[in-house]
Amino acid sequence: MKSLLDKVNAKLNAQGGFLKAASILVSGTMVAQLINFITLPILTRIYSPSDFSIFAVYISIIGILSTISCLRLEIAISIPKEDKEAFFLLMLALMVNAIFSLLIILILFFIKIVDIEINSLNKYELTWLIPIAIFFAGAYTSLQYWMSRKKKYKIIAKTRVKQALSGSLLQIILGLLSFGIVGLIIGQIIKISSGFIVFIKEILMDLKIYIKEINIFQLKKIFIKYERFPKYSTFESLANTAGNQIPIIIIAIYSIGPEAGYLMLAMQIMAVPLRLIGSSIAQVYLVEASKKYQEHNIREFTLDCIKKLVFIGSLPLILISCLAPLLISLIFGDQWHRTGEMIFWMFPLYFIQFIVSPTSMVLHITNNQNLALYFQIFGLTLRCGGLLLIGYLDNSYLFSSYVVLGFIFYLLYLGLIFYVIENNKFGDK
């Protein structure tokens, strides 16, 4: 038995502990996703498809804004050789995130003055919850990258479980108390902020070590050194997230009925493998691939990661897609039958997204942020422009167009990744 355990441990520690780190994150994410999945059938019986449609718009807005709230400086935290430099990047990311959140509050205050309507959110006075969610989302992401750098994967895993448990339970309680859509949104904010508090406690020791060395001149120097991230990655990430989220808003606007609500539930179900495995591998990939790049071994490492993703992701995505039309109504209620049909047709899109999303970080590691930016702008134009045209001409094809356009984008993105690593298209270090 001991010999077997030694072999398993050796396997997990292979490739610099890549598999072991990923497995720790996957285990925590697995429990979190299990909690989310168990509570979903309860939520779909408490909240209506119309509530989920409004929630989908809210989540889309938060997703678009929070991804740029730190000017993408959080990604750079994994790159420096010295922890001190990485910690300065963390401080910069947190400062920028706070300023960005305050800026959103000022913008919303102006919107309130001129009485501009934001979909159905103004009806419920929910717009003021947007900057709160943005702040906690940006702070959590920044601190999570620092924890990854310090290889504190168990703590990250624990926060994901705590987030899922606290947020889901609150959504159920508020729903039963007839809070309506407000319950979904407040629960989502709690889901984000609970992990943030855990991380703050963890970095206090690091703060004591570096606090005396932090000054405006050092921060400015670090900002200039990593200016490619705010300069290129911010707009690249904005285009990427907008390309994923704006189509949901377009579908909510142009479709008849709560189509966006059905799509949101379908996306949450299909995203389980992405969050469970893909996001965990992406986080570890960024740390390990940075080292492989310095060792001039990024090509082999990335190809190996792609092979693992294909092998790991095939079975769960196929099972979810094939069983969804049969089980969705049984699990979530008859009113969600449309979601099962959507999941079946979304398999090609989510399979290729599962492969591309983690390994797309190679463009940042190899200093090809400008290339990533140009491609994401193309993707935003392709996906949103195409959907706007379809919505204007015939809104009955909105969902199918969403799947086809998304698949084309990620297929081309995979080709770009291969082009970069095969032709050594690396920017300046």
Burial status of residue 415 (CB atoms within 10 A of its CB: 0-12, 13-18, 19 or more): exposed
pLDDT for 289 equals 78
Angle among Cα 33, 36, 41 to the nearest 5 degrees reads 135
The half-sphere exposure of 195 on its side-chain side, counting CA atoms within 13 A, is: 33
Cα distances (angstroms) measured from residue 223 to each of 33, 88, 129, 365: 36, 9, 30, 17
Are 97 and 143 in contact, with CB atoms under 8 Å apart? no
Helices 259-273 + 14-46 axis angle, to 10: 150
Structural domain spans, the chain: 15-422
3-state secondary structure 237-286: HHHHHHHHHHHHHHHHHHCCCCHHHHHHHHHHHHHHHHHHHHHHHHHHHH
**CB atoms closer than 10 angstroms to residue 250:** 23
DSSP character string of 50-102? HHHHHHHHHHHHHHHHHTTTTTTHHHHTTS-SSHHHHHHHHHHHHHHHHHHHH
Tell me how far apart the alpha carbons of residues 170 and 184 are, in angstroms, rounded to a whole number: 8
Tell me how far apart the alpha carbons of residues 338 and 328 are, in angstroms, rounded to a whole number: 9
10-residue stretch averages of pLDDT, the chain, 429 residues long: 39 50 70 86 91 88 91 89 90 95 88 52 67 93 90 86 92 92 90 84 82 85 90 84 88 85 89 68 71 81 86 86 92 92 93 88 82 90 93 88 95 92 64
Ordered alpha helix ranges (H), 125-180: 130-149, 153-176
DSSP character string of 292-309? HHHTT-HHHHHHHHHHHH
pLDDT for 414 equals 94
Burial status of residue 28 (CB atoms within 10 A of its CB: 0-12, 13-18, 19 or more): buried
Cα distances (angstroms) measured from residue 292 to each of 39, 90, 275, 279: 40, 22, 24, 19
Tell me how far apart the alpha carbons of residues 105 and 132 are, in angstroms, rounded to a whole number: 9
pLDDT for 129 equals 87
Rg (CA), the chain: 21
Cα distances (angstroms) measured from residue 251 to each of 126, 301, 395: 21, 39, 8
Q: Which of 33, 39, 345 is nearest to 172 (CA)?
A: 39
Tell me how far apart the alpha carbons of residues 365 and 379 are, in angstroms, rounded to a whole number: 21
Tell me how far apart the alpha carbons of residues 95 and 24 are, in angstroms, rounded to a whole number: 30
pLDDT for 9 equals 43
3-state secondary structure 120-140: CCHHHCCHHHHHHHHHHHHHH
